[in-house]
Amino acid sequence: MPAIDVAGEFETIQRLLKPLAHPEWARGLADDVAALPSRPGHDLILTKDAIVEGVHFLPDDPLDTVAQKLLRVNLSDLAAKGAEPFGYLLACHWSPRCGWPEREAFVAGLRRDQAIFDISLLGGDTVKTPGPASFSATLLGWAPSGAAVSRAGAQPGDLVFVTGTIGDGWLGLQAAQATLSLEPERMDALEAAYRTPMPRVEFAPVVLGLATASADVSDGLLADAAHIAEASGVSLEIDLERLPMSAAAQAWFEGRVDPQAALELLAGGGDDYEILLTVPAGAENALRREAERRHLRLTCVGRVVEGRGLSPRYLGQAITPTRTGWTHG
């Protein structure tokens, strides 16, 4: 049954979104623009992601977690470039199910993550749509001039590292769709990883200082490794048996009869929002120290070699996965 809409768009802005706005730069959300001061010695780094009901989140997902995921997938992009986030532009396309309580829940999620990540709303747009709900955000951050890390700097001899664990996003979707059977606490952990992934914002300065190339793991570890390889004109060898797993993913993995196929699924599932980065071999110890200081798991999953493209391996043998990750239409 469609939700009852008790307010128009201007009331949504004034009552719900205005309290989230930056006190100066957003101009009270009463203008058609935001005005940002420059920051000497820095580049403005921008990223934009959109999420659509039925594609990136489930129709019955709580809208507070939808809002958090929207911000976090964008924050992950900035972190992988070594940028420091400060604000965002927001577009909301409310479906018929998005009445006032649902909008309040969505804004509560935004408010929660604004406090966690120290960012502010700068402006945007809000409209109704007869179709599925969709939301987009443009995140803005600063990086020292010319220093933002791209996908294009990996060099032969570099090592390939990934933060955190891989596969929880894909498994979390299965858990949310009730197509997975694990202990309840494992299911809860996986669903949380899918709905509210944790971007590695605290690792951005390390990326900036040590990485030769980096990307966030959104399409799948293998797919994003392929993006780095292509942009850098090198080959990335990825050792699937090194894939870091959470306790919940490990519990799922131990029940598989074909470990290679299971690892391919985890490495190609996407929605992990970890940072995949390449560093010179001589920087490994420094990188590990920085991860330890932040109590962040860090795993070497491969190396950069001469050649071109992705070179996945399992137990020392080259393999051809049936799927490396998501593709965008």
Q: What is the pLDDT of residues 103-123, one digit of tens each?
A: 999 999 999 999 999 999 999
- Please tell me whether 272 is known to bind a ligand: no
Helix orientation angle between 184-195 and 63-81, rounded to the nearest 10 degrees: 60
- Please tell me whether 100 is known to bind a ligand: no
- Please tell me whether 218 is known to bind a ligand: yes
**Domain match, 52 and 106 both:** yes
Helix (H, G, I), strand (E, B) or coil at 82: coil
Domain boundary among 100, 118, 144: 144
Q: For residue 90, what is the DSSP state?
A: E
What is the rounded average pLDDT for all residues in the chain? 94
- Please tell me whether 170 is known to bind a ligand: no
**Domain match, 275 and 130 both:** no
**Domain match, 112 and 195 both:** no
- Please tell me whether 39 is known to bind a ligand: no
pTM value is 0.94
- Please tell me whether 289 is known to bind a ligand: no
Total domains in the chain come to 2
Segment 280-299 shows an average pLDDT of 99
Q: For residue 123, what is the DSSP state?
A: E
298 pLDDT band (50/70/90 cuts)? very high
Helix (H, G, I), strand (E, B) or coil at 256: coil
Domain boundary among 144, 169, 204: 144
- Please tell me whether 168 is known to bind a ligand: no
327 pLDDT band (50/70/90 cuts)? low
- Please tell me whether 125 is known to bind a ligand: yes
- Please tell me whether 129 is known to bind a ligand: no
- Please tell me whether 239 is known to bind a ligand: no
**Domain match, 250 and 107 both:** no
**Domain match, 162 and 311 both:** yes
Residue 5 has pLDDT above 50, yes or no: no
Segment 182-187 shows an average pLDDT of 96
**Domain match, 314 and 281 both:** yes
**Domain match, 170 and 309 both:** yes
- Please tell me whether 303 is known to bind a ligand: no
Residue 308 lies in a domain: yes
Position 32 scores a pLDDT of 86
Q: Beta strand 84-94 with 120-128: parallel, antiparallel or unpaired?
A: parallel
CATH code of the domain in which 282 resides? 3.90.650.10
Position 326 scores a pLDDT of 57
Distance, CA of 60 to CA of 65 (rounded, Å): 11
Residue 213 has pLDDT above 60, yes or no: yes
**Domain match, 284 and 306 both:** yes
**Domain match, 183 and 134 both:** no
Distance, CA of 86 to CA of 301 (rounded, Å): 32
Give the structural domain span for 39. Answer: 31-144
Residue 10 lies in a domain: no
Residue 190 lies in a domain: yes
Residue 17 lies in a domain: no
The model's pLDDT over 23-62, given as tens digits with 9 standing for 90+, comes to 999 998 888 899 999 999 999 999 999 999 998 999 999 9
- Please tell me whether 271 is known to bind a ligand: yes
Residue 197 lies in a domain: yes
**Domain match, 64 and 208 both:** no
**Domain match, 136 and 185 both:** no
Position 328 scores a pLDDT of 46
- Please tell me whether 164 is known to bind a ligand: no
Residue 108 has a CB neighbour count (10 Å cut-off) of 15
Residue 12 lies in a domain: no
Residue 238 has pLDDT above 50, yes or no: yes
Helix orientation angle between 168-176 and 259-268, rounded to the nearest 10 degrees: 90
Segment 279-306 shows an average pLDDT of 99
